[in-house]
Structure 1
Amino acid sequence: MEKLNPRDVKILNSKKGLQALLSDESVSIQKAIKSVSYIKNLKRLQKELIKMHEEVIEKNQQVIVIFEGRDAAGKGGAIRRMTERINPRHFRIVALPKPTEEERTQWYFQRYINKFPQAGEIVFFDRSWYNRAVVEPVNGFCTEAEYNRFMSNVNDFERMITDSGIKLVKIYMSISKEEQAKRFEEIKSNPLKQWKITPVDEKAQELWDEYTKYKTVMFEKTHTDYAPWKIIKANKKTFARVNAIKYLLSRIPYDKNRNV
């Protein structure tokens, strides 16, 4: 058995440590230690999120956080960890369905603009206008002309957003093909999660290379100084969630010494 250092012993002797160790017969000591360490780290970061959010509210700031990534990459899970402790009256999570017939006749960005934050609010987009950069062309949901028009306009659109004073944070959750396949199987076998699988998801594995091609172009064309992309390795969910929160905190200035 691997020798434990004093810090590990302290973790295991805590209430959370004992719960992690005793809750599942298959959990090893090292897994229990990692689990408790993750929970403590997450709680610490969530306190920082509260500080940051309170400052956004007080200063009437507007913040947009975009989450993109392949299907089953963990976008929703990361958003939930970001938002579960902050003031629910001053944030929204937006996950738009496919456009209605009326929305199809509108300017492409319009239905996203309609969801932009008010003063003192953060809006989290679980997928965004970047559907047109990857998902839509891969699955034939837009024409080549529509795709090219979007790619020509999106940087100017985001320049207008940031020039208006809105803070824009773009996060891409990146997983491997093998990890995606594994997560799809887990979702399919869980009656409480089966609703998550869509026809688009069903084709994601066979269209993997097409997604990669369009994703690469997206990064090349839309990574700018005023609206950069942050790519987060997401094969390990806990690692990805922690790093997503750290990145958001790094992008929104706030007083780290304020009390919560």
Structure 2
Amino acid sequence: MFQSAEIGHQLSKTAYREAVPTLRAALLDAQVELFEQHKTPVVVLISGQDGAGKGETINTLYEWMDPRFISTLAFSQPSDEERERPPMWRYWRSLPPKGRVGIFAGSWYSDPIRERIEGDISVKELDARAQQINRFEEMLVDEGALVLKFWFHLTKEGQKQRLKALSSDPRTAWRVTQWNWDRLKTYDQLQDVARHLLRVTNTAAAPWVVVEGTDDRYRCMTVGQVLLKAMQNKLAAKEAPHTPMAPMVRVDLDGRNVLSALDLTLTLADKPYKDELAKWQGRLSELVRDERFKSRSLVCAFEGADAAGKGGAIRRIAAALDARQYQVTPVAAPTDEEKAQPHLWRFWRNLPRHGHVAIFDRTWYGRVLVERVEGFCSEADWLRGYSEINDFEHELIDAGVIVVKFWLQISQAEQLKRFKEREQVEFKRFKITQEDWRNREKWHDYQQAICDMVERTSTGEARWTLVEANDKNFARVKILRTLCERLEAVLQDQPNPEREAAVKSDKAKVKKAKKQSESHKPKAASAKIQA
């Protein structure tokens, strides 16, 4: 893939000076129009070999364009905060909003390349990471983003000469460290890994542009022109009508489904409820203070019909936790800031660190529930939402996050009873709105959407727990018990540092006592008779 980048491209000073004013003016015009339309974010990845001019090119783009509408994101080794979250967390947080340009110096490609060179992952694992990246970039494009990926290439001798030139110039010597020289030794390995990764991630949605990095003028002009043309094409393009991205879910001909099969008559009397509540709250408190939980985190996702009792269930969970250990995130209609980002962005930014709990009161499933039923997004958007949500949850689980999802189901009659109660009780009136009454008219549409959601997103370690919630006592205890059982199942498969340390200490004490005992034993008399 690097063949075309090795032919020695050069651009004369004269040609460069003549072309720059026109290019700069056009870039600024495109930038302003992009900002005014406020519908497209531009994601620019600048990658390649050390010394290939990544930093110089970014500085040139800042010079040519309006810096108010650009942000540069530089990524190196992850911080402690970043290590305690899924690998993609830091990139999601840094995505540019609609109307702006985000330049990534170092990106989601950096870690897989480094890990493969160092032998930490196999080719098979590298390919799995590549497929994950492909789906992520496809999601960005489906959400309206323009994704441009540049790889700056140098020959081995060219890289060596570039590093020498930078080192010898006092103005640029600071850019070259021993680490850069050490990286030169892995040039051939980088070439092999990069060739493979670029090939499998060179997709129609986000193709790679390989640019020779030897000549500064040629490199900067090429990037500037590619960026300009891509922005102009995006601005000129009319939005094509969306087509469904997945087949529709089957219709339940006999009227039975995962919701109708629930026994909503299940109840729990007050006395056993209090006992069970105390039991499971105590157990939950122990589990989140367990030494093994310090290397994990917990995400609780709550969905349910209006007035199903999500808030009450969440309060019973929170009562068992240290207030410094958990965060409840209520999810409503997206803000203007959130609308300027991909759908999942606002959930990525609220993921917990190790040893912490994130409780979402309504979740990312709004895309396939309320947005689907109310027509807030296109059919193609909510249909692709299932796979995007599954990818999201898979990334959480793969990073050690424990994901527990609850759907609270009540009957129409019970919902009506609770709605009327809310209207009559002064401190509950804020909970009932005209929108709640209007949603009752679409009860059957929501039931179908819920069944589709459960069928398509109840996967492996991120399965749904359906809660019979007509009786609040029964629902709250079932939720707490399920949460504890899931935590126990995960933690029991994980080493316990405290227990291992105690066992090690006990063994050391036994060994020491044995040694002392042996040292105090009388020595056996010698059978040898002295002459």
Q: TM-score, normalised by structure 2?
A: 0.41
Counterpart CA distance in 1 for 2:291 and 2:404 is 14
Aligned amino acid, residue 211 of structure 1 = Y
The answer as to 2:320 corresponding to 1:85 is yes
144-153 or 156-165: which moved more?
A: 144-153
CA deviation after TM superposition for structure 1 residue 235, in Å: 0.3
Distance 1:65 1:51 in 2: 17
Structure 1 residues 57 and 121, CA gap change in structure 2 (3 angstroms): farther
User: What is residue 450 of structure 2 aligned with on the other side?
Assistant: 215
2:351 paired residue number: 116
RMSD: 1.8
Give the whole-Å Cα distance in 2 for the aligned partners of 1:36 and 1:106.
Answer: 48
CA contact (8 A) 1:60 1:121 kept: no
Determine if contact 1:187/1:194 at 8 Å carries over to the other structure.
yes
Determine the C-alpha separation between the residues in 1 that align with 2:436 and 2:416: 10
Question: Is 1:151 equivalent to 2:373 in the alignment?
Answer: no
Kindly provide the amino acid, as one letter, of the partner of residue 82 in structure 1. I
Distance 1:188 1:220, change over 3 A: same
1:137 to 326, 350, 372: 372
Shift of 1:143: 2.2
From 75, 83, 99, give the equivalent of 2:334.
99
- C-alpha deviation, 1:132, in angstroms: 1.0
**What is the aligned-residue identity percentage?**
37
Report the counterpart of residue 24 of structure 1 in structure 2: none
- How many corresponding residue pairs? 224
Do the aligned partners of 2:329 and 2:358 also contact (CA within 8 Å) in 1?
yes
Q: Which residue of 2 aligns with 1:27?
A: none
* Structure 1 CA distance for aligned equivalents of residues 291 and 426 of structure 2: 39
Q: 2:430 aligns with which of 195, 201, 211?
A: 195
**Shift, 1:152, TM fit:** 2.9
Task: Find the counterpart in structure 1 of residue 200 from structure 2.
Answer: none
Larger radius of gyration: 2
CA distance in 1, matches of 2:384, 2:408: 25
Contact 2:297 / 2:401 at 8 angstroms: preserved in 1? Answer: yes
Match of 1:196, as an amino acid?
Answer: K
CA shift for structure 1 position 57: 7.9
Query: Does structure 1 conserve the Cα–Cα contact (< 8 Å) formed by 2:397 and 2:403?
Result: yes
Give TM-score scaled by structure 1 length.
Answer: 0.81
State how far apart, in whole Å, the 2-side matches of 1:146 and 1:56 are. Answer: 42
1:43 aligns with 2:278: yes
Question: Is the alpha carbon distance of 1:57 and 1:204 closer, same or farther for their aligned partners in structure 2, counting shifts above 3 Å?
Answer: farther
Give the CA deviation at 1:105: 2.1
* C-alpha separation in 1, matches of 2:291 and 2:300: 13
The one-letter code sitting in structure 2 at the alignment partner of 1:78 is A
Where does structure 2 lack aligned partners over 5 or more consecutive residues?
A: 1-267, 493-497, 499-531
1:48 deviates by: 0.4
> 1:243-254 alignment to 2 at 5 Å?
243-253=478-488, 254=491
| Distance (whole Å) between structure 2 residues aligned to residue 58 and residue 220 of structure 1 | 30
Work out the CA distance in 2 between the residues paired with 1:89 and 1:166. Answer: 18
C-alpha contact 1:56 1:121 (8 A) present in aligned 2: no
Query: Matched residues in 1 for 2:348 and 2:434: separation?
Result: 27
| 2:411 matches 1:181 | no
Residue number among 163, 181, 195 corresponding to 2:398 in the alignment: 163
- What's the CA shift for 1:80? 0.5
Quick one: structure 1 residues 157 and 56, their matched pair in 2 at CA, closer, same or farther if it must change by over 3 Å? Answer: farther
